[in-house]
Amino acid sequence: MLDIRLIRDDIDAVATALLKRGFTLDVERVRGLEEERKTAQVETQTLQAERNQRSKAIGQAKAAGEDIQPLKDEIAGLGDKLKTISTRLDEIQGELDTLLMSVPNLLHESVPEGKSEDDNVEVRRVGTPLEFSFAAKDHVELGESLGQLDFERAAAIAGSRFTSLRGGLASLQRALTQFMLDTHIEKHGYTEVYVPYLVNRESLKGTGQLPKFEEDLFKIEGESDYYLIPTAEVPVTNLVRDQILESDSLPQRMVTHTPCFRSEAGSYGKDTRGLIRQHQFEKVEMVQIVKPEHSYETLEELTAHAEALLQALELPYRVMTLCAGDTGFAAAKTYDIEVWLPAQNSYREISSCSNFESFQARRLKARWRNPETSKPELVHTVNGSGLAVGRTLLAIMENHQNEDGSINIPAVLQPYMRGKQRLEKDVA
RNA sequence: GGAGAGGUGGCUGAGUGGUCGAAAGCGGCGGUCUUGAAAACCGUUGAAGGGCAACCUUCCGGGGGUUCGAAUCCCUCCCUCUCCGCCA
């Protein structure tokens, strides 16, 4: 959510800035509602002040043993009047809130212009894709011929866009998760957290998934409004909702591994083959709660933390700055890390690292006490995948495959794989 | 699932219809003292919103109600704790 004062002060500047990402702010509607709000609020408060004053006088009269009936008669009707106008105020405020909740974040000045992912800007490219002396297979073919990847069974159990793994591949996914967590904890200074995988509406509003993106989520049927998390960003960031954090407790660096669930509505026909786009996938997520002046250096650091994993796993990748039109609703700036996939002969997203500045914090009422002002101020939130485990798994399969269909296990993962060096078809 | 007790400021915790935004303590900030620090003492210190300002409004788990007036009474939902039962 944007600062309402920013909108009041210079709505045209805000509207212009939002236009950069292709969002049209209904300036006239906001102006109109603000106007009404002001009138209704002043009127409500005036009536409330009068009521308070009169009531106090009645209290005093009663204490003095006087007859209070005449005083009560004097304010007959005031209650109804107040009720009418304050109800109107609530309505206006509600409309304004709804409108404001669906306005995306302002972009950082360094975000390049552009409409779609085609306009994203490459920042750097690390590692060189291997030249295979044979025709590289894709991960579906590799996994199925190993007998360790089975989409059919998963489809029977649940439906399309689900996976089942077996044997070495199942272990490798777990090994990857473990390796990622350990690296962030031991080398990058993160604290591991464990969080709910079902969350309430408030939490999703806080991080910006609701009210706008309901269709992307899986909702649980039942008395309570639970949603399956689309990313650990939701529960982890909500750890600081409604909190006033002490200055010395910042920055908070948190990491967790969770399954993620996405309905993938609107992506029919896209990435239907393989592990790329699933309803359920594993992800390791980094979340940092920081002081505002540090959020951009934090974004760089956190992106580097994700990159470190790809380097250790010997996977070629590139880092992209998302352009204005491709940057997500809540983010002020986003780097996507894209891993090389030989079978697709292209780079595909494996991590997304964003600075949300105070956008999420304002919705969450997540604040810190600034010692200089001794006042609570909004924190900044920064997060990123480190990494999407399922996609990393398929990247390893494709990049580290051999001609015979076996897959080399990167050295850093071998300790997590009971010393195993390659995945091969089980003879047994 | 059954029975009971609770949810109050950054924290602990008093307050059960009227000058209560709320005692007290802790913590924070400022000061006295000290070579410096600690201790002690004095003062100060909730959040959000409106208005150029004086000032005003709202907030005692969420929502609704009663009343001239609600932290306090009523309804409802959520959460926490204790005991019993069941259980990964």
Tell me how far apart the alpha carbons of residues A38 and A26 are, in angstroms, rounded to a whole number.
18
What is the percent of chain A where pLDDT is above 90? 69
Q: In 10 A of CB A162, how many CB atoms? A: 16
More reliable by pLDDT, A128 or A266: A128
- Per the CB < 8 A criterion, the answer to whether A140 and A164 are in contact is no
Band the pLDDT of A242: cuts 50, 70, 90. Answer: confident
> Do the Cβ atoms of A168 and A146 come closer than 8 Å?
yes
Q: pLDDT at position A252, please? A: 93
| Mean confidence (pLDDT) of chain A | 92
Residues A258, A387: Cα–Cα separation, whole Å: 11
Residue A149: the pLDDT is 95
**Nearest-nucleotide field for A75 (CA, C1'):** B68
**DSSP run (H or E) holding A184:** helix A167-186
Q: Tell me, what's the pLDDT at A318?
A: 97
The domain spans of chain A are 26-101, 117-423
pLDDT, mean of residues A200-226: 87
What is the C-alpha end-to-end distance of chain A, expressed in Å? 57
Nucleotide nearest the Cα atom of A76 (by C1'): B68
The answer to whether residue A410 scores a pLDDT higher than 90 is: yes
Q: Looking at residue A369, what is its pLDDT?
A: 84
Give the mean pLDDT of A124-131. 94
CA-based torsion, A32, A38, A41, A44: positive or negative: negative
What is the per-residue pLDDT across A286-325, written as a single tens digit (0 to 9) for each? Answer: 999 999 999 999 999 999 999 999 999 999 999 999 999 9
**Pick from A209, A190, A237, A241: which is nearest to A367 by CA?**
A241
Q: What per-residue confidence (pLDDT) applies to A152?
A: 94
Axis crossing angle, helix A27-63 with helix A11-19, rounded to the nearest 10: 140
Residue A371: the pLDDT is 81
pLDDT band at residue A426 using 50, 70 and 90 as cut-offs: confident
What ipTM was reported for this prediction? Answer: 0.84
Q: What topology does CATH give the domain A26-101?
A: Helix Hairpins (1.10.287)
Lowest mean pLDDT of A20-29, A180-189, A218-227, name the range: A218-227
Q: Which nucleotide C1' is nearest A79 CA?
A: B68
Residues with CB under 7 A from strand B: A 4-5, 8, 38, 41-42, 44-46, 48-49, 51-56, 58-60, 62-63, 68, 72, 75, 79, 223-224, 244, 367, 371, 374-376
Instruction: Select from A31, A3, A29 the least CA-distant residue to A17.
Output: A3
User: CA angle, A26 as apex, A25 and A32 as ends, to 5°?
Assistant: 135
CA/C1' separation A198–B3 (Å): 30
Instruction: Write the class of the CATH domain A117-423.
Output: alpha beta
State, as a whole number of angstroms, the distance between the CA of A206 and the C1' of B81.
29
Catalytic residues of A: 262, 277, 349, 352, 391
Q: What is the mean pLDDT of residues A368-386?
A: 88
Three-state DSSP state, A346: strand
CA of A109 to C1' of B63 (A): 42
Query: What Rg, from alpha-carbon coordinates, does chain A have?
Result: 27
Task: Output the pLDDT for position A427.
Answer: 58
Q: Which nucleotides of B are covered by protein (CB under 7 A)?
A: 10, 18-19, 28-29, 47-51, 56-58, 68-69, 78-79
Confidence of residue A350 (pLDDT cuts 50, 70, 90): very high
The gap between A69 CA and B22 C1' (Å) is: 29
- Please give the nucleotide, over all strands, whose C1' is closest to the CA of residue A362: B48
CA of A85 to C1' of B20 (A): 27
